[in-house]
C-alpha cells in the first residue's frame, strides 16, 4: 500500500494504491476549517497506466507539432529578415541612382522639351500644308470638270 499526499493552502490531493487499485481524492479546505471532497476516483492500476501512456503519447505528438511550428516560424522570420534587408538595399540603391542621375536629367530636360516643341510645330506645319494641298486638289478636280463641260458645249456649237 502506497500513499501520496500533495497539499497547498486550501487544496489537498491524496492518492493511495491498494489491491491493484488507485484511489484518488481531491479535498478542498474551506475558510472555516471544514473540508469537502471535490473529486474522488478509483482506478485499476492497469487502466491508470494505460491512460497515463495514452496521455504521454498525446503530449509527445503535441510537442512534436509545436516544435514543427516553432521551426517554421523561425524560418519565416529569417526569410522576413532577408526580405527586409533586400528591400532596404533596393531602396538605398534606387535613392543613390536618383541622386546621381537627377542632375543629368535636369540638365537634359530643357533640351528634350525644346526638341518636342520643335517636332510639334513641324507636325502642325505639315498638317496645314496637307490640308492646303487637299483643298487645292479638290478645287482642281471640280474646276476642270466644269470647264470640260463648257468646252464640250462650245465645241458642239462651233
Considering only residues 158 and 114, tell me which one the structure prediction assigns the higher pLDDT.
114
pLDDT at position 52, please?
81
Closest CA to 13 of 51, 52, 47, 39: 39
Long-range contacts, 148-151 (Cβ 8 Å, 24+): none
Cα–Cα distance, 92 to 33 (Å, whole number): 73
Give percent of the chain above pLDDT 70: 55
Reported as a single tens digit per residue, the pLDDT across 45-93 is: 567 678 888 988 999 999 999 999 999 999 999 999 999 999 999 888 8
Q: Find the range with the poorest average confidence among 28-37, 83-92, 134-143.
A: 28-37
pTM for the model stands at 0.34
The single-letter DSSP state of residue 1 is: -
Closest CA to 38 of 12, 16, 18: 12
* 16 C-beta neighbours (distance < 10 Å), count: 15
Residue 29 burial class via C-beta count within 10 angstroms: exposed 0-12, middle 13-18, buried 19 and up: middle
pLDDT at position 49, please?
72
* Cβ–Cβ under 8 Å, residues 26 and 13: yes
Amino acid at each position: 500500500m502506497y500513499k501520496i499526499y500533495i497539499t497547498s493552502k486550501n487544496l489537498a490531493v491524496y492518492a493511495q494504491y491498494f489491491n491493484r487499485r488507485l484511489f484518488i481524492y481531491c479535498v478542498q479546505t474551506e475558510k472555516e476549517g471544514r473540508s469537502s471532497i471535490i473529486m474522488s476516483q478509483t482506478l485499476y492500476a492497469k487502466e491508470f497506466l494505460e491512460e497515463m501512456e495514452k496521455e504521454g503519447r498525446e503530449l509527445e505528438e503535441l510537442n512534436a507539432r509545436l516544435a514543427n511550428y516553432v521551426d517554421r516560424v523561425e524560418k519565416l522570420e529569417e526569410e522576413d529578415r532577408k526580405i527586409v534587408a533586400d528591400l532596404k538595399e533596393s531602396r538605398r540603391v534606387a535613392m543613390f541612382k536618383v541622386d546621381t542621375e537627377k542632375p543629368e536629367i535636369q540638365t537634359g530636360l530643357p533640351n528634350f522639351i525644346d526638341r518636342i516643341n520643335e517636332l510639334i510645330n513641324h507636325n502642325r506645319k505639315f498638317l496645314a500644308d496637307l490640308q492646303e494641298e487637299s483643298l487645292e486638289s479638290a478645287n482642281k478636280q471640280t474646276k476642270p470638270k466644269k470647264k470640260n463641260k463648257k468646252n464640250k458645249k462650245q465645241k458642239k456649237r462651233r
